[in-house]
Amino acid sequence: MALSIDLSGRTALVTGASRGIGLAIAQTLRGAGAEVLGVGTRISENPPEGIEPLNCDLSDRDQIAALLAKLAPREIDILVNNAGIIRRGPIAEHAIEDWDAVMAVNLDAAFLLSRDLGRAMVARGSGKIVNVASVLSFQGGILVPGYAAAKGAVAQLTRSFANEWAAAGVNVNAVAPGYVATDNTAALQEDAERTAALMARVPAGRWGRPEEIAGVVAFLCSPLAGFMHGSIVAADGGWLAR
């Protein structure tokens, strides 16, 4: 097998593709030859070059249903559930609205899209689903109870789907990013004391880059990862190793 990633002839759907890790994933898959559909709340207002934009607020189940109906005639070979939000605050003061919002986008949308788009993959006997988990799939974090709970559930969701669909030829895996320089981590990056404490625990000693996560996703979407099912691949600069 050639050690290169060629996704020519594949159609990929990437959620949260407007910026950050999602945009890097969409661009990387496009660079590997895939036709890429990018989902974002208002992505059509500033569509990434070479990416077909699909507007959808993934916190709204009616909009998810409408998106799935629009996608029904198309064959989706690759699904990347990347969209995610964070709501920070002490647990004792954590609003239920923040909890619900995080669960809706980070967990519920991933389940619904994987379930519905995955049915056709199972029927065809092939397909790739990659979820974006987190190092907080393994740890509790600080001030982010909803995010940590949702990302822990994403890891279990990945394993659950893999258990049922591996025999049907569908690979379901996840990447677990560590601390990556994106809009979601802007508050941490601006907090010099917190950043210093975090980087002291990262063996690589730096923030990750979105394209470094995208490279792992591209691998998981390729034939090179054909025997991987239910894997949660950490791309964290060594955070979990320390």
Domain ranges (residues) in the chain: 11-235
Q: Which residues pair with 36 in a beta bridge?
A: 12
Compute CA distances 151 → 56, 58, 96, 226, whole Å: 21, 16, 17, 24
Whether the full predicted model's pTM is greater than 0.85, yes or no, is: yes
Mean pLDDT of the chain: 96
Compute CA distances 176 → 155, 181, 238, whole Å: 9, 14, 12
Q: In what order do the strands lie in the sheet with 78-81?
A: 52-55, 35-40, 11-15, 78-81, 127-132, 170-177, 232-235
**Confidence bin at 185 (pLDDT 50/70/90):** confident
Return d(Cα 240, Cα 235) in angstroms, integer: 9
**Confidence bin at 2 (pLDDT 50/70/90):** low
Please tell me the CATH superfamily of domain 11-235, with its number. NAD(P)-binding Rossmann-like Domain (3.40.50.720)
Backbone angles phi, psi at 20, to 5 degrees: 60, -140
**Residue 4 confidence (pLDDT):** 86
Q: Considering 79, 132, 147, 229, which one is annotated as catalytic?
A: 147
**Residue 1 confidence (pLDDT):** 52
Side chain identity at residue 100, one-letter code: D
The string of pLDDT tens digits covering residues 90-115 is 999 999 999 999 999 999 999 999 99
**Known catalytic residue at 147:** yes
Return d(Cα 72, Cα 62) in angstroms, integer: 15
Q: Which residues pair with 132 in a beta bridge?
A: 175
Average pLDDT for 4-29: 97
